[in-house]
Amino acid sequence: MSLLSKHRTADYKPRLFVFCLFTLAWITLLLYAGGFTTSIKAGMAFLDWPLSNGSINPQGWLTQSDKLAEHSHRLLGMKIGLLSITLLVWTYLRESRKSVRTLAGLLVLVVVLQGLLGGARVRFDWLNTHAESNLIAQSFAVAHACGAQIVLGTLVAITIMSSKVWIRGNNQSIYQVPQSIHRWGTLACLGLFIQVLIGAIMRHADAGLAIIRFPLARPGSFLPAYWNFDVSIHFAHRVWAIGATALIIIFIGKIWVFPPARKSFRNAAVLVLFILAIQIYLGALTIWTIKNPYVATMHALIGAFLLASTWGLTLFTHRPMTQHTL
């Protein structure tokens, strides 16, 4: 046994768990900053990268809203990079479970890729700043938005696997969750990720108001009066929202009809449904307020929370459980 291995354990580590929660809080700030930057179209407030106007403390960034949003987003991203590296070192030194160490390594990798995607978006858009459409830059922006969900999901997995409930369950498991619950949870996560992808395409194509009514698309009809790319991607976002909602409800229903799972997961299941209800309301409110930037940003943020909470619940169902309630 190596000297390093002697210091590694699979026990519950309260400080590590708290650090994971702290990092989750910072990622929440980063997601809000990124969403708000997109909502006010401030992604090109600085035309260079990784510095902002050649500086880490550019002139005027605290007094101009677009520069404040974009530079705050960059600074928070740097902070997440440092936190993820700290988490990797911590787990490498103290965590005996290879799965947790692997996830910590994956987190650092995805965070680095996220930074590069954000930088690529700026560099490509700089070549075509005043054009109506820059497909390459928009593609990087969409990938950047989806990558943020992967960062969040990876950190959620590390946090859950570092929790007392998860570690206690490894030693006191009493029943297996049916495979049907696993499948529907996975499908719900996949459906939500597709919805995030469609939403990111819609946001970066500036198609959020391509249909200006809700729930109807026009008087007396759910269908738009005409079709183009903006209308089509907006309508797809609405239609797929119905499908994703159905998948979540089926997933929660499968949990509810299996008494041991209902006892273990009822609070978490209710939380997912509560976040779903808020997200539906925010989607409607985004239209009703003519895409108010604060409402649109919260819609994007709560969407990330919905995917993360559904993923967290799904992860819990993939392992033997105790009768303790989440």
CA-to-CA dists, residue 173 to 16, 126, 133, 168, 212, angstroms = 23, 55, 54, 8, 51
Q: Is the pLDDT of residue 10 over 80?
A: no
Q: What is the pTM of this model?
A: 0.91
pLDDT at 131: 46
Question: Cβ contacts of residue 179 below 8 Å, gap of 6+?
Answer: none
pLDDT at 226: 92
Q: Is the pLDDT of residue 323 over 80?
A: no
Q: What is the C-alpha separation between 188 and 250, in angstroms, rounded? A: 9
**What mean pLDDT do residues 18-27 have?**
97
Q: What is the C-alpha separation between 122 and 252, in angstroms, rounded? A: 41
CA-to-CA dists, residue 56 to 29, 50, 116, 243, angstroms = 19, 9, 17, 44
Q: What is the C-alpha separation between 278 and 267, in angstroms, rounded? A: 17
Q: What is the C-alpha separation between 147 and 155, in angstroms, rounded? A: 13
The neighbouring-strand residues paired with 284 are none
pLDDT at 127: 59
Question: Cβ contacts of residue 269 below 8 Å, gap of 6+?
Answer: 252, 255, 256, 262, 313
Element (H, E) at 89: helix 65-94
Q: Is the pLDDT of residue 284 over 50?
A: yes
- Lowest-confidence range among 38-47, 110-119, 216-225? 38-47
Averaged confidence pLDDT in the chain? 90
Neighbours of 194 (CB within 10 A): 15
Note the pLDDT tens digit of each residue in 155-189. Answer: 999 999 999 888 876 555 567 788 899 999 999 99
Domain boundaries, the chain: 11-162, 173-326
**What mean pLDDT do residues 250-272 have?**
93
Token duo for residue 184? 């529907």
Pick 134 or 180 by higher pLDDT. 180
- CA angle in degrees (0–180, nearest 5) for 161-326-171: 50
Q: Is the pLDDT of residue 133 over 60?
A: no
DSSP calls for 232-248 = HHHHHHHHHHHHHHHHH
CA-to-CA dists, residue 71 to 52, 55, 107, 240, 279, angstroms = 7, 10, 23, 33, 27
Question: Cβ contacts of residue 101 below 8 Å, gap of 6+?
Answer: 88, 91, 92, 95
**What mean pLDDT do residues 24-39 have?**
95
Q: Is 320 helix (H, G, I), strand (E, B) or coil?
A: coil
**What mean pLDDT do residues 218-247 have?**
96
Question: Cβ contacts of residue 221 below 8 Å, gap of 6+?
Answer: none
Greatest CA separation for the chain? 73
Q: Is the pLDDT of residue 326 over 50?
A: yes
Q: What is the C-alpha separation between 46 and 67, in angstroms, rounded? A: 7
Q: Is the pLDDT of residue 80 over 70?
A: yes
Neighbours of 165 (CB within 10 A): 15
- Give me the percent of the chain exceeding a pLDDT of 70: 91
- Lowest-confidence range among 15-29, 156-170, 181-195, 282-296? 156-170
pLDDT at 167: 85
Residue located via tokens 């495979």: 179
Note the pLDDT tens digit of each residue in 87-129. Answer: 999 999 999 899 999 999 999 999 999 999 988 888 877 655 5
Note the pLDDT tens digit of each residue in 137-151. Answer: 788 889 999 999 999
**What mean pLDDT do residues 16-39 have?**
96
pLDDT at 12: 87
- The candidate with the shortest Cα–Cα distance to 137, out of 155, 154, 125, is 125
Q: What is the C-alpha separation between 209 and 134, in angstroms, rounded? A: 20
